[in-house]
Structure 1
Amino acid sequence: MKYENLILEKKEYVYLKRILNVSGYSESSEIQKSIIKLNEELKDARVLNEDEMPLDVIRFNSKVSVISDQGWEKTIQIVIPSERDFKQNKISILTPMGAALFGYATGDPVIWDFPTGKQHFTITAVEQVESSNGIDVLL
Protein backbone atom coordinates (compact mmCIF):
# COMPACT_ATOMS: atom_id res chain seq x y z
CA MET A 1 0.00 0.00 0.00
CA LYS A 2 1.49 3.28 -1.15
CA TYR A 3 0.65 5.34 1.95
CA GLU A 4 0.62 2.44 4.48
CA ASN A 5 -2.99 3.16 5.59
CA LEU A 6 -6.17 4.43 3.99
CA ILE A 7 -6.20 8.20 3.59
CA LEU A 8 -9.40 10.20 3.90
CA GLU A 9 -10.26 13.88 3.91
CA LYS A 10 -11.88 15.01 7.21
CA LYS A 11 -15.31 15.97 5.87
CA GLU A 12 -15.51 12.83 3.76
CA TYR A 13 -14.48 10.71 6.75
CA VAL A 14 -17.27 12.20 8.88
CA TYR A 15 -19.82 11.69 6.11
CA LEU A 16 -18.65 8.13 5.42
CA LYS A 17 -18.83 7.15 9.10
CA ARG A 18 -22.34 8.62 9.23
CA ILE A 19 -23.62 6.65 6.23
CA LEU A 20 -21.92 3.46 7.38
CA ASN A 21 -23.63 3.78 10.76
CA VAL A 22 -27.10 4.18 9.21
CA SER A 23 -26.67 1.75 6.29
CA GLY A 24 -27.98 -1.15 8.35
CA TYR A 25 -26.11 -3.98 6.54
CA SER A 26 -29.38 -5.58 5.47
CA GLU A 27 -28.96 -5.92 1.70
CA SER A 28 -26.75 -9.01 1.38
CA SER A 29 -24.05 -10.80 3.27
CA GLU A 30 -21.36 -9.66 0.78
CA ILE A 31 -22.36 -6.02 1.17
CA GLN A 32 -22.39 -6.50 4.94
CA LYS A 33 -18.90 -8.06 4.85
CA SER A 34 -17.60 -5.17 2.72
CA ILE A 35 -19.02 -2.54 5.05
CA ILE A 36 -17.60 -4.31 8.10
CA LYS A 37 -14.18 -4.62 6.43
CA LEU A 38 -14.21 -0.93 5.43
CA ASN A 39 -15.16 0.02 9.01
CA GLU A 40 -12.18 -2.00 10.25
CA GLU A 41 -9.81 -0.30 7.80
CA LEU A 42 -11.12 3.12 8.87
CA LYS A 43 -9.84 2.50 12.41
CA ASP A 44 -6.25 2.91 11.17
CA ALA A 45 -6.95 5.49 8.45
CA ARG A 46 -5.06 8.76 8.24
CA VAL A 47 -7.54 11.65 8.22
CA LEU A 48 -6.20 14.79 6.56
CA ASN A 49 -7.31 18.33 5.78
CA GLU A 50 -8.43 19.04 2.22
CA ASP A 51 -5.18 20.85 1.35
CA GLU A 52 -3.10 17.86 2.55
CA MET A 53 -4.87 15.25 0.40
CA PRO A 54 -2.70 13.51 -2.21
CA LEU A 55 -4.28 13.77 -5.67
CA ASP A 56 -3.95 10.03 -6.31
CA VAL A 57 -6.09 8.91 -3.34
CA ILE A 58 -9.60 7.63 -4.06
CA ARG A 59 -12.30 9.80 -2.53
CA PHE A 60 -15.92 10.64 -3.24
CA ASN A 61 -16.40 11.37 -6.96
CA SER A 62 -12.98 10.01 -7.95
CA LYS A 63 -12.84 8.24 -11.30
CA VAL A 64 -10.83 5.08 -10.79
CA SER A 65 -9.31 2.68 -13.28
CA VAL A 66 -8.49 -0.84 -12.13
CA ILE A 67 -7.11 -3.99 -13.72
CA SER A 68 -7.79 -7.41 -12.29
CA ASP A 69 -5.48 -10.38 -12.04
CA GLN A 70 -8.11 -12.15 -14.16
CA GLY A 71 -7.52 -9.68 -17.01
CA TRP A 72 -10.57 -7.43 -16.85
CA GLU A 73 -10.22 -3.64 -16.77
CA LYS A 74 -12.79 -1.12 -15.61
CA THR A 75 -13.13 2.60 -14.94
CA ILE A 76 -15.73 3.63 -12.39
CA GLN A 77 -16.62 6.64 -10.29
CA ILE A 78 -17.15 6.29 -6.51
CA VAL A 79 -20.15 8.36 -5.41
CA ILE A 80 -22.48 8.93 -2.48
CA PRO A 81 -25.39 6.44 -2.47
CA SER A 82 -27.97 8.86 -3.88
CA GLU A 83 -25.80 9.59 -6.97
CA ARG A 84 -25.22 5.98 -8.04
CA ASP A 85 -25.94 5.28 -11.71
CA PHE A 86 -24.75 1.96 -13.06
CA LYS A 87 -25.26 3.06 -16.69
CA GLN A 88 -22.75 5.89 -16.16
CA ASN A 89 -20.36 3.65 -14.17
CA LYS A 90 -21.10 5.57 -10.95
CA ILE A 91 -21.06 3.17 -8.03
CA SER A 92 -22.01 3.81 -4.43
CA ILE A 93 -19.47 3.73 -1.64
CA LEU A 94 -21.79 1.11 -0.08
CA THR A 95 -21.14 -1.45 -2.84
CA PRO A 96 -18.37 -4.02 -2.41
CA MET A 97 -16.27 -2.33 -5.14
CA GLY A 98 -16.81 1.17 -3.71
CA ALA A 99 -15.89 0.01 -0.23
CA ALA A 100 -12.86 -1.87 -1.57
CA LEU A 101 -11.34 1.15 -3.30
CA PHE A 102 -12.07 4.10 -1.02
CA GLY A 103 -8.94 5.61 0.55
CA TYR A 104 -6.48 3.64 -1.58
CA ALA A 105 -4.13 5.25 -4.14
CA THR A 106 -2.79 4.75 -7.67
CA GLY A 107 -0.60 1.65 -7.82
CA ASP A 108 -2.11 -0.02 -4.76
CA PRO A 109 -2.97 -3.71 -5.04
CA VAL A 110 -6.35 -4.54 -3.52
CA ILE A 111 -7.72 -7.90 -2.38
CA TRP A 112 -11.42 -7.89 -1.54
CA ASP A 113 -14.32 -10.34 -1.19
CA PHE A 114 -17.03 -9.85 -3.81
CA PRO A 115 -20.23 -11.83 -4.44
CA THR A 116 -18.26 -13.74 -7.11
CA GLY A 117 -15.42 -14.52 -4.70
CA LYS A 118 -12.10 -13.00 -3.68
CA GLN A 119 -10.74 -10.60 -6.30
CA HIS A 120 -7.21 -9.27 -6.73
CA PHE A 121 -6.79 -6.05 -8.69
CA THR A 122 -4.51 -3.02 -9.01
CA ILE A 123 -5.50 0.64 -9.15
CA THR A 124 -4.00 2.00 -12.36
CA ALA A 125 -5.31 5.59 -12.34
CA VAL A 126 -7.23 8.03 -10.13
CA GLU A 127 -8.80 11.26 -11.40
CA GLN A 128 -10.43 13.76 -9.04
CA VAL A 129 -13.80 15.05 -10.27
CA GLU A 130 -15.78 17.88 -8.70
CA SER A 131 -19.27 16.95 -7.56
CA SER A 132 -22.33 19.01 -8.34
CA ASN A 133 -23.74 17.88 -5.00
CA GLY A 134 -20.64 18.01 -2.84
CA ILE A 135 -20.06 16.53 0.58
CA ASP A 136 -20.16 20.03 2.13
CA VAL A 137 -23.86 20.28 1.29
CA LEU A 138 -24.56 16.97 3.00
CA LEU A 139 -22.78 17.83 6.25
Structure 2
Amino acid sequence: MKHSNLMFGKDNFVMVKYYLETNETIEDYRHHDTLKLLDYNMLRASVVETEVVPADVVQIYSTIRVRSKSGWAKTFELVPPYEENNKNNRISAISSLGAKIIGLSQGHTIQHGLPGDIVSLTIEKVVQNKKRVKLDIPKETFEEILSNRKKNLLALTI
Protein backbone atom coordinates (compact mmCIF):
# COMPACT_ATOMS: atom_id res chain seq x y z
CA MET A 1 0.00 0.00 0.00
CA LYS A 2 1.40 3.37 -0.99
CA HIS A 3 1.65 5.72 2.00
CA SER A 4 1.40 9.47 1.51
CA ASN A 5 4.88 10.41 2.73
CA LEU A 6 8.19 9.08 3.94
CA MET A 7 8.10 7.02 7.12
CA PHE A 8 10.97 6.01 9.35
CA GLY A 9 11.24 3.88 12.43
CA LYS A 10 13.16 5.84 15.08
CA ASP A 11 16.19 3.55 14.81
CA ASN A 12 16.35 3.89 11.01
CA PHE A 13 15.89 7.66 11.21
CA VAL A 14 18.71 8.10 13.71
CA MET A 15 21.06 5.76 11.83
CA VAL A 16 20.51 7.48 8.47
CA LYS A 17 20.80 10.95 10.02
CA TYR A 18 23.98 9.91 11.83
CA TYR A 19 25.54 8.62 8.60
CA LEU A 20 24.45 11.72 6.71
CA GLU A 21 26.17 13.91 9.29
CA THR A 22 29.36 11.82 9.45
CA ASN A 23 29.63 10.85 5.77
CA GLU A 24 32.83 12.36 4.43
CA THR A 25 32.76 10.78 1.00
CA ILE A 26 30.60 12.24 -1.72
CA GLU A 27 30.69 10.17 -4.90
CA ASP A 28 29.72 13.04 -7.20
CA TYR A 29 27.53 16.13 -7.35
CA ARG A 30 24.45 14.09 -8.20
CA HIS A 31 24.98 11.88 -5.13
CA HIS A 32 25.55 15.01 -3.04
CA ASP A 33 22.22 16.42 -4.31
CA THR A 34 20.47 13.13 -3.52
CA LEU A 35 21.76 13.22 0.06
CA LYS A 36 20.65 16.85 0.47
CA LEU A 37 17.18 15.86 -0.77
CA LEU A 38 17.12 12.92 1.66
CA ASP A 39 18.10 15.22 4.50
CA TYR A 40 15.30 17.64 3.55
CA ASN A 41 12.76 14.82 3.16
CA MET A 42 13.70 13.45 6.58
CA LEU A 43 12.59 16.73 8.13
CA ARG A 44 9.10 16.15 6.74
CA ALA A 45 8.96 12.38 7.28
CA SER A 46 6.84 10.64 9.86
CA VAL A 47 9.06 9.14 12.55
CA VAL A 48 7.38 6.36 14.50
CA GLU A 49 8.32 3.56 16.84
CA THR A 50 10.08 0.85 14.85
CA GLU A 51 7.50 -1.77 15.81
CA VAL A 52 4.66 0.13 14.11
CA VAL A 53 6.30 0.78 10.74
CA PRO A 54 4.08 -0.90 8.12
CA ALA A 55 5.65 -3.97 6.48
CA ASP A 56 5.62 -2.37 3.01
CA VAL A 57 7.77 0.63 4.01
CA VAL A 58 11.42 0.48 2.93
CA GLN A 59 13.69 0.41 5.97
CA ILE A 60 17.28 -0.70 6.55
CA TYR A 61 17.51 -4.48 6.06
CA SER A 62 14.40 -4.54 3.85
CA THR A 63 14.60 -6.56 0.66
CA ILE A 64 13.20 -4.49 -2.19
CA ARG A 65 12.22 -5.31 -5.75
CA VAL A 66 12.05 -2.40 -8.20
CA ARG A 67 10.81 -2.55 -11.78
CA SER A 68 10.99 -0.16 -14.71
CA LYS A 69 8.25 0.35 -17.28
CA SER A 70 10.38 -1.56 -19.79
CA GLY A 71 10.23 -4.65 -17.56
CA TRP A 72 13.77 -4.51 -16.15
CA ALA A 73 13.73 -5.50 -12.47
CA LYS A 74 16.22 -5.73 -9.65
CA THR A 75 15.99 -7.14 -6.14
CA PHE A 76 18.37 -5.93 -3.44
CA GLU A 77 18.71 -5.48 0.31
CA LEU A 78 19.05 -2.01 1.81
CA VAL A 79 21.84 -2.00 4.40
CA PRO A 80 23.91 0.40 6.52
CA PRO A 81 26.88 1.89 4.60
CA TYR A 82 29.44 -0.39 6.26
CA GLU A 83 27.57 -3.50 5.00
CA GLU A 84 27.30 -2.41 1.37
CA ASN A 85 28.28 -5.10 -1.15
CA ASN A 86 27.04 -4.53 -4.70
CA LYS A 87 28.10 -8.01 -5.84
CA ASN A 88 25.72 -9.49 -3.25
CA ASN A 89 22.93 -6.99 -4.05
CA ARG A 90 23.38 -5.12 -0.76
CA ILE A 91 22.86 -1.40 -1.37
CA SER A 92 23.79 1.30 1.16
CA ALA A 93 21.00 3.41 2.62
CA ILE A 94 23.00 6.51 1.70
CA SER A 95 23.88 5.47 -1.85
CA SER A 96 22.07 7.31 -4.63
CA LEU A 97 19.45 4.55 -4.98
CA GLY A 98 19.18 3.83 -1.27
CA ALA A 99 18.72 7.49 -0.35
CA LYS A 100 15.91 7.80 -2.88
CA ILE A 101 13.86 4.84 -1.64
CA ILE A 102 14.35 4.60 2.12
CA GLY A 103 11.14 5.54 3.89
CA LEU A 104 9.00 5.09 0.77
CA SER A 105 6.55 2.22 0.39
CA GLN A 106 5.43 -0.34 -2.13
CA GLY A 107 3.84 1.44 -5.10
CA HIS A 108 5.98 4.59 -5.01
CA THR A 109 7.92 5.52 -8.15
CA ILE A 110 11.30 7.25 -8.24
CA GLN A 111 13.51 8.68 -10.96
CA HIS A 112 16.98 7.15 -10.95
CA GLY A 113 20.08 7.27 -13.11
CA LEU A 114 22.48 9.68 -14.69
CA PRO A 115 21.41 12.71 -16.70
CA GLY A 116 20.39 11.52 -20.13
CA ASP A 117 19.78 8.01 -18.81
CA ILE A 118 17.12 8.47 -16.13
CA VAL A 119 14.63 5.67 -15.62
CA SER A 120 11.43 5.48 -13.58
CA LEU A 121 11.54 2.68 -11.03
CA THR A 122 8.49 1.51 -9.13
CA ILE A 123 8.88 -0.19 -5.77
CA GLU A 124 7.14 -3.45 -6.58
CA LYS A 125 7.72 -5.41 -3.40
CA VAL A 126 9.14 -4.83 0.09
CA VAL A 127 9.97 -7.68 2.46
CA GLN A 128 11.13 -6.97 5.99
CA ASN A 129 14.10 -8.92 7.28
CA LYS A 130 14.08 -10.05 10.90
CA LYS A 131 17.46 -8.37 11.34
CA ARG A 132 17.16 -4.95 12.96
CA VAL A 133 19.33 -1.84 13.05
CA LYS A 134 21.82 -1.90 15.90
CA LEU A 135 22.83 1.60 16.83
CA ASP A 136 26.35 1.72 18.17
CA ILE A 137 26.08 5.32 19.28
CA PRO A 138 25.63 6.79 22.77
CA LYS A 139 22.05 7.23 23.95
CA GLU A 140 22.70 10.97 24.27
CA THR A 141 23.57 11.16 20.55
CA PHE A 142 20.39 9.22 19.71
CA GLU A 143 18.25 11.63 21.74
CA GLU A 144 20.08 14.67 20.36
CA ILE A 145 19.45 13.64 16.76
CA LEU A 146 15.73 13.19 17.47
CA SER A 147 15.46 16.49 19.36
CA ASN A 148 17.35 18.34 16.60
CA ARG A 149 14.79 17.01 14.12
CA LYS A 150 12.01 18.67 16.11
CA LYS A 151 13.92 21.98 16.23
CA ASN A 152 14.64 21.84 12.47
CA LEU A 153 11.05 20.91 11.69
CA LEU A 154 9.82 23.88 13.71
CA ALA A 155 12.19 26.20 11.80
CA LEU A 156 10.96 24.71 8.51
CA THR A 157 7.32 25.46 9.30
CA ILE A 158 7.82 29.05 10.51
Instruction: Give the TM-score of the pair, scaled to structure 1.
Output: 0.88
1:135 aligns with 2:104: no
User: 1:75-90 counterparts in 2 under 5 A?
Assistant: 75-90=75-90
Q: Is the 8 A contact 2:16 2:94 kept in 1?
A: no
Alignment check: 8 A CA contact 2:15 2:135 kept = no
Q: Which residue number in structure 1 is paired with residue 35 of structure 2?
A: 35
Q: Which residue of 1 aligns with 2:19?
A: 19
Aligned to 2:13, the other structure's residue is in SS state helix
Q: Which runs of 5+ in 1 are unaligned?
A: none
TM-score, length of structure 2 as denominator length:
0.78
- Tell me which residue corresponds to 1:115: 114
**RMSD of aligned Cα (Å):** 1.8
Corresponding position of 1:61? 61
Q: Contact 2:6 / 2:46 at 8 angstroms: preserved in 1?
A: yes
Alpha-carbon shift at residue 25 of structure 1 (Å): 5.2
Q: Is the contact between residue 11 and residue 135 of structure 2 (CA under 8 Å) also seen in structure 1?
A: no
Residue ranges of structure 2 left out of the alignment (5+ in a row): 138-158
Query: Between Structure 1 and Structure 2, how many residues are aligned?
Result: 136
Larger radius of gyration: 2
Q: Tell me, in whole angstroms, the C-alpha distance in 1 between the residues paired with 2:76 and 2:134.
A: 22
| Structure having the larger proportion of residues in helix | 2
**CA distance in 2: counterparts of 1:137 and 1:14, whole angstroms:** 8
Runs of 4+ that moved beyond 3 A: none
